[in-house]
Amino acid sequence: MTSEMASNGKPIESVWDFPRPPRVERVPWRVRVVHGGLLIVDAPAAIRVLETSQPPAYYVEEQFIRLDCLRPSDHTTVCEWKGTARYADVVSGEAEATDAAWTYDDPAFGFEEIAGRWAFYAQKLDECWLDDERIEGNPGLFYGGWISANVVGPFKGGPGTADW
């Protein structure tokens, strides 16, 4: 991390300085997710997971989520660090985003803080925000990282990056 600040007022961070294995970190940043014109998430703070080569994924507590907009999916994945994730579709009226949210019910040692919290794929949803900054999802769908003005790559996840 450098002392240089980005346009969003946060320190510039290179994903190549993020650790492996990943690190869990609490941040006092507001997280919002909008889909189909409906505010699905509005959390005053979050936990982010920092992992080499990937933009951070942000996990929010259920109390800040419109749980009626999450429809359980049969989809699961296994992360070598965090364990098994289960997924949900995000549904807002006619707008559906398949497997757009995930959670770890019983994460591996070192990741207990994210248990029961949900993260969201910015690539699949209409709008995702950190504080007052609209963020971008990382390339591809393998990772659900959020790219803000202070997070710089290159980012793993897009076509041709699987062997990095």
| Domain range enclosing 123 | 13-144
156 within domain boundaries: no
Please give the share of the chain, as a percent, with pLDDT higher than 90.
89
Tally the domains of the chain: 1
98 within domain boundaries: yes
What residue type is assigned to position 9 of the chain?
G
4 within domain boundaries: no
Instruction: State the Cα angle at 105 between 127 and 27, rounded to 5°.
Output: 50
What is the mean predicted confidence (pLDDT) over 127-137? 97
45 within domain boundaries: yes
Mean pLDDT score across all residues of the chain: 95
pLDDT in tens, 66-100: 999 999 999 999 999 999 999 999 999 999 999 99
- pTM, rounded to two decimals: 0.95
- Position 56 scores a pLDDT of 97
Token representation of residue 31:
């997280």
Q: Which residues of 32-61 are buried (b: 16+ CB within 10 A; e: fewer)?
A: bbbbbeeebbebeebbbbbbebbbbbbbbe
Q: How many helices (H) and strands (E) does the chain have?
A: 0, 15
Token representation of residue 101:
């949210």
Residue 1 above 70 pLDDT? no
Q: What is the CATH number of the domain that holds 20?
A: 2.170.150.40
Task: Quickly state the pLDDT bin for 2 (edges 50, 70, 90).
Answer: low
DSSP β-ladder status, 146-147 and 151-152? unpaired
Please give the share of the chain, as a percent, with pLDDT higher than 70.
99
Residue 141 above 70 pLDDT? yes
